[in-house]
Chain A
Amino acid sequence: MTTTDGPTADTSPDAAPATVRDLHLTDSVHSARDDARAQGGRAGDWMPYLPASTSPHCPPGVDRTSLVWAETVAPGGYTHKVLARGSRLRFDDPTGHACAHLLLFNALEPVERLNVADTLKIPWQAYLGVNHPLLSGDGRVMAVVTGDSSGRHDAFCGTTTDTWNQHKYGDSRPEGPSPSGRGLFVKAAAKHGLSRRDLPPSVSFFQGIRVEPDGALTWQGGAGPGTHVELVAEMPLLVLVANVAHPLNPRSEYAVGPLRVHAWRGLATGPDEERFTATPELHRAYLNTVDHCEARGL
Chain B
Amino acid sequence: MATSQTEGFAPAEPIETVVNTYPTTSGGTIASTVPVGAVYAEGSALDWGASLVEGTVVLDEKVAPNAAWSAVVKQGHVLTIVDVGGNQSADCLLYDAADPEERYSVPDTLAWQGNAYVRTGTVLRSNEGRPLMTVVANEIDRQDTIGGACGKESNTLRYGHHVMFHHGCRENFLAEASRHGLGVRDLVSNLNWFMNVPVEADGALGIVDGMSAPGRRVAVRAETDVLVLVSNCPQMNNPCNDFNPTPLRMIVVAPSSPATSHDANSQSPSEAAA
Contacts and interface: CB of A to CB of B under 8 A. Distances in A.
A274 interface: yes
B77 interface: no
Contacts of B155: 139
B157 A115 contact: no
B127 A196 contact: yes
Given A137-B187, A156-B116, A158-B105, A280 B156 contact: no
A135 B157 CA distance: 10
Contacts of B274: 250
A250 B111 CA distance: 12
B28 interface: no
Q: Is the interface of B mostly helix, strand, loop or mixed?
A: loop
A217 B231 CA distance: 28
B198 to A, nearest CB: 9
Contact of B186 (A117, A120, A122, A197): A197
Given A122-B158, A139-B151, A200 B205 contact: no
Contacts of B153: 137-140, 288
A118 interface: yes
B115 A215 contact: yes
Interface residues of A, number: 61
Contacts of B157: 118, 122, 135, 139, 281, 284-285, 288
B146 A121 contact: yes
Interface string A252-268: 10000000000000000
Contact of B203 (A115, A126, A250): A126
B139 to A, nearest CB: 18
23 contacts: A115-B154, A117-B149, A120-B148, A120-B205, A121-B147, A122-B158, A125-B203, A135-B157, A137-B153, A139-B153, A139-B154, A156-B110, A161-B127, A197-B101, A215-B115, A217-B114, A219-B273, A250-B274, A272-B3, A274-B1, A276-B3, A277-B1, A284-B160
B142 A215 contact: yes
Given A137-B153, A277-B9, A162 B128 contact: yes
Q: Which 3 A-B pairs have the closest CB atoms?
A: A117-B148, A158-B107, A139-B153
B129 to A, nearest CB: 3
A47 B236 CA distance: 51
B148 A215 contact: no
B97 to A, nearest CB: 15
Nearest to B187: A137
A177 interface: no
